[in-house]
């Protein structure tokens, strides 16, 4: 978006302070001191912009934009569709969502409109276009923030009809739907489209194919609504750049599908810092995983659109970030590809449910507050390292992630209904790569593994035939593939593949699944090294597969119960590459040595020397970020790092690292 500038700012709500003109004045002064250069405006401003139907009041926003811009602050202008005025909900009940139990919601809260309602779409288009006409060409407006955190689903009659139309377009005939959903089961065959209903607690919950297609439809409808808003703006300002703010591990729509339709990916990051039992490093890695997913969505820099400078108001216990953590998290986002770091929120509200949410400026309005001082410090650092903006990441390892698979696993009955733990599974692989300083991208199911040295396929229960083909070609061509348990079980309709499994990959992996053994929480199976494998022992948990080797070399085997002797980890040479099979989820200690062995000689770590525990290195283009997330100082060959300190180096290609920070 802008060269040599990292964005820094926050959600800003001047509409909450219209009766206090001194506050806008003070905010602009404080933003200058904190080195803010971008604010998201208007996210929840609809009633101030259109207090009565068709009556637009935009002068207050014009004044705010003009004054901010004069002070060097650009604007990420929001469409206000996430929260609607009461007059609108009252006059047009169809805009209010109907829950799965078929009860229409009352007016209240936010992010709860029907995505199908033509009335809502029309009202949104009107206000979006008024905004675009008035501000779309203002030099301050560098980005459009479409709505806010799209989420949820509606089951009204309009949505039911849209679902049926979507199915008709996807399948062509009822016959095809009946086949895809295996509706002969329990005599559920449909004879007319009008019989198809969305899932309901008092209705359909058993047809996995229908449940999966409903999720796909909701995803489609959410993206379609976003496109409606985007195109409303672009009709007036064709060059408008749009973003949406996404959420942590959110499953409400396919993020890759959404990303295709936007210019910039962004997300709202609210990790649980300082939770007893979790190290800073663990929390940071879990957060980094989402950064890397966001980067992967468009394979280019993203924004951390929201994070708190201190605490949220909605965790069980709303702990504040301790000194130094805010600086560290801001720089961590940049290390992983963020071109901007923004907060929710600039100034703390006085009332309603977010009055105790952290903000850069608190109720006391003071700049000598720790939170403000630390925010200003980060602003200063980002200003100094602006040259990092735009830097791209090199392809190293990829983790295949498919939202269809997540939805299908969530809705499958058995083999383990106490949580399949897909995110946990993904995180264990990711964390090991992060600790090794190896960059990881997320690859959608239609993505191309070409260009990666290592591809990981964690629990890909729903495996599309074409993907299996691409993975096979990848190994054949010399790639290294890791496939875990419970992969290649069903096709895209959630129909079980018939024949040997993991479907499409048995010859690549050199194993054939014979049983899947679900484990109770806390239950484990001991595994031991076979041959000279360097990991002597590991514990298998959650889901443990038993497989018959068909050419693969067991590297570890189960060492107890009736699966004793069956491969827990196996390797198979296929074409010019190698395929690894992990029969179970293992204890966290397994993954680091496993991936260290795999990466050695194949993937260069971000930092050339071995790093002590708690120190993470991330490479972004020519820049290497080193962060000491341990609670002790560390001494490296080129840097001494205090706890929570970040060092940034620029690699000029000669092997010499110049320290920028
Ligand atoms: C986000 C939301 C913001 C604010 C924030 C509080 O999910 O987009 O508007 O509510 O949470 O943490």
Number of domains in the chain: 2
Residue 399: the pLDDT is 99
**Does residue 595 sit in the same domain as residue 629?**
no
Domain boundary among 599, 629, 649: 599
Ligand 1 mean position to 312 CA, how many Å?
9
Same domain? For 422 and 571 the reply is yes
Say if residue 594 is in the same domain as residue 629. no
Counting atoms of ligand 1 from 1, which one is nearest the CA of 245?
A: 8
> Is there a domain that residue 158 lies in?
no
Does residue 73 belong to any structural domain of this protein? no
What is the residue-wise DSSP string for 21-43? HHHHHHHHHHHHHTT--EEEE-T
Quote the mean pLDDT of the chain.
97
Give the CB-side neighbour count of residue 225, counting CA atoms within 13 A: 35
Tell me the percentage of the chain whose pLDDT exceeds 70: 100
Angle between helix 422-436 and 588-599 (nearest 10): 50
The first and second tokens of residue 448, run together, are 């191309």
Residue 399, phi-psi category: left (phi > 0), alpha (psi -120 to 50), beta (remainder)? beta
**pLDDT tens, position by position, 89-100:** 999 999 999 999
573 and 628 housed in the same domain: no
553 & 631 share domain: no
The predicted structure's pLDDT at residue 338: 98
Check whether residue 473 and residue 572 sit in a common domain.
yes
Give the CATH number, domain containing residue 574: 3.40.50.880
Range 29-49 average pLDDT = 98
pLDDT digits (tens, 9 = 90+) for 606-623: 998 999 999 999 999 999
Which residue CA neighbors atom 5 of ligand 1 most closely? 344
Using the predicted structure, report yes or no on whether residue 654 has a pLDDT greater than 90.
no
User: Are both 476 and 556 inside the same structural domain?
Assistant: yes
β-pairing, 338-343 vs 397-400, is unpaired
Please check whether residue 514 lies inside any domain of the structure: yes
Predicted confidence at residue 347, as pLDDT, reads: 98
Please say whether the beta carbons of 415 and 459 come within 8 A. Answer: no
What's the CA-to-centroid distance between 344 and ligand 1, angstroms? 7
Which of 15, 80, 344, 355 to mutate for ligand 1's pocket (most ligand atoms within 8 Å of CB)? 344
Å from CA of 65 to ligand 1 middle? 22
Q: What's the pLDDT tens digit per position in 189-221? A: 999 999 999 999 999 999 999 999 999 999 999
User: Region 111-139: what's the mean pLDDT?
Assistant: 98
Ligand 1 cavity residues, CB under 6 Å: 148-149, 268, 270, 306, 312, 344, 354, 357
Catalytic residue among 15, 50, 229, 306: 306
Claim to verify: residue 595 and residue 632 sit in the same structural domain: no
From ligand 1's centre to the CA of 43, what distance in Å?
11
Looking at residue 296, the DSSP 8-state letter turns out to be H
- Give the domain-ending residue among 599, 625, 646: 599
Residue with the smallest CA separation from ligand 1 atom 12 is 312
In the predicted structure, residue 348 carries a pLDDT above the cut 80: yes
**Would residue 574 count as lying in a domain?**
yes
Q: What pLDDT shows up at residue 118?
A: 98
Q: How far apart are CA 348 and CA 343, in angstroms?
A: 11
- Given 149, 153, 281, 374, which residue is catalytic? 149
> What residue owns the CA closest to ligand 1's atom 3?
344
Kindly state whether residues 583 and 653 are assigned to the same domain.
no
Quick check: 593 pLDDT over 60?
A: yes
Please report whether residue 650 resides in a domain. yes
620 lies in the same domain as 560: no
Mean pLDDT of all residues in 545-549: 98
Domain assignment of residue 556, given as a range: 397-599
Mean pLDDT along residues 488-499: 98
- Indicate the pLDDT class of residue 653, thresholds 50, 70 and 90: confident
> What tens digit of pLDDT does each residue of 475-487 get?
999 999 999 999 9
Query: Does one domain contain both 587 and 491?
Result: yes
- Together in a domain, 534 and 623: no
Angle between helices 422-436 and 403-411 (to 10 degrees): 140
* 306 assigned to active site: yes
| Residue 641: per-residue pLDDT | 97
Q: Residue 1 has what pLDDT? A: 56
3-class SS letters over 580-618: EEECEEECHHHHHHHHHHHHCCCCCCCCCCCCCCCEEEE
What the block records as the tokens of 13 is 């709500």
Q: Kindly state whether residue 219 falls inside one of the protein's structural domains.
A: no
pLDDT of residue 2: 63
- The answer to the question of residue 338 being in a domain is no
Q: How far is the CA of 174 from the centre of ligand 1 (A)?
A: 42
Assess whether 537 carries a catalytic annotation: no
Residue 321 domain-assigned (yes or no): no
What average pLDDT does range 514-527 have in this prediction? Answer: 98
């Amino acid at each position: 978006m802008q060269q040599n500038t990292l964005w820094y700012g926050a959600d800003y709500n001047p509409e909450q302070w219209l009766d206090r003109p001194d506050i806008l004045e003070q905010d602009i002064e404080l933003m200058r001191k904190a080195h803010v250069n971008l604010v998201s405006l208007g996210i929840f401003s609809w009633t101030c912009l259109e207090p009565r139907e068709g009556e637009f009041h935009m002068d207050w926003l014009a004044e705010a934009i003009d004054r901010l811009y004069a002070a060097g602050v650009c604007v990420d202008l929001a469409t206000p569709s996430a929260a609607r005025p009461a007059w609108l909900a009252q006059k047009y009940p169809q805009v209010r969502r109907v829950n799965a139990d078929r009860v229409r919601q009352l007016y209240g809260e936010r992010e709860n409109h029907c995505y199908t309602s033509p009335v809502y779409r029309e009202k949104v288009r009107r206000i979006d276009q008024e905004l675009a006409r008035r501000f779309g060409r203002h030099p301050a407006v560098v980005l459009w923030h479409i709505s806010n955190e799209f989420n949820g689903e509606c089951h009204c009659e309009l949505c039911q009809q849209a679902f049926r139309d979507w199915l008709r377009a996807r399948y062509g005939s009822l016959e095809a739907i009946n086949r895809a959903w295996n509706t002969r089961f329990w005599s559920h065959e449909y004879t007319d489209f009008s019989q198809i209903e969305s899932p309901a607690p008092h209705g359909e919950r058993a047809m996995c194919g229908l449940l999966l297609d409903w999720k796909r439809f909701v995803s489609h409808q959410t993206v379609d609504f976003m496109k409606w808003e985007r195109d409303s703006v672009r009709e007036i300002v064709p060059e408008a750049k749009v973003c949406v703010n996404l959420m942590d591990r959110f499953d409400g729509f396919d993020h890759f599908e959404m990303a295709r339709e936007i210019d910039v990916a962004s997300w709202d990051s609210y990790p649980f810092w300082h939770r007893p039992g979790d190290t800073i490093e663990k929390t940071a890695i879990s957060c980094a995983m989402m950064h890397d997913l966001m980067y992967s969505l468009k394979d280019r820099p993203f924004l951390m659109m929201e994070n708190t400078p201190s605490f949220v108001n909605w965790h069980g216990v709303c702990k504040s970030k301790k000194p130094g953590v805010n600086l560290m998290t801001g720089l961590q986002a940049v290390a992983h590809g963020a071109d901007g770091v923004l907060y929710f929120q600039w100034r703390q509200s006085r009332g309603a449910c977010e009055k105790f949410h952290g903000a850069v400026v608190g109720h006391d309005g003071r700049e000598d507050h720790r939170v403000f001082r630390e925010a200003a410090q980060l602003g200063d650092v980002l200003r100094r390292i602006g040259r990092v903006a735009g830097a791209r990441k090199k392809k190293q390892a990829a983790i295949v992630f498919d939202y269809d698979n997540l939805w299908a696993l969530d809705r499958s009955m058995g083999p383990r209904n106490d949580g399949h733990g897909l995110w946990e599974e993904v995180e264990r692989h990711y964390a090991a790569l992060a600790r090794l300083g190896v960059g990881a991208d997320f690859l959608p199911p239609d993505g191309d593994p070409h260009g990666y040295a290592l591809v990981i396929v964690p629990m890909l229960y729903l495996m599309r035939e074409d993907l299996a083909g691409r993975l096979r070609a990848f190994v054949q061509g010399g790639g290294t593939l890791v496939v875990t348990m419970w992969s290649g079980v069903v096709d895209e309709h959630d129909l079980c593949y018939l024949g040997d499994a993991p479907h499409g990959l048995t010859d690549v992996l050199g194993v054939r699944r014979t049983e899947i053994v679900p484990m109770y929480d806390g239950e484990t199976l001991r595994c031991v090294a076979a041959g000279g494998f360097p990991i002597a022992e590991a514990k298998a948990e959650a889901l443990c597969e038993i497989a018959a080797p068909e050419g693969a070399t067991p590297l570890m085997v189960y060492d107890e119960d009736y699966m004793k002797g069956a491969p827990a980890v196996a390797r198979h040479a296929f074409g010019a590459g190698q395929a690894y099979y992990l029969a179970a989820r293992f204890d966290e200690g397994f993954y680091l040595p496993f991936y260290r062995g795999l990466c050695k000689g194949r993937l260069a770590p971000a930092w050339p020397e071995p790093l002590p525990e708690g120190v993470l290195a991330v490479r972004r283009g020519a820049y290497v970020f080193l962060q000491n997330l341990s609670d002790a100082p560390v001494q490296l060959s080129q840097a001494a790092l205090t706890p929570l300190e970040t060092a940034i180096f620029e690699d000029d290609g000669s092997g010499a690292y110049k320290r920028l920070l």
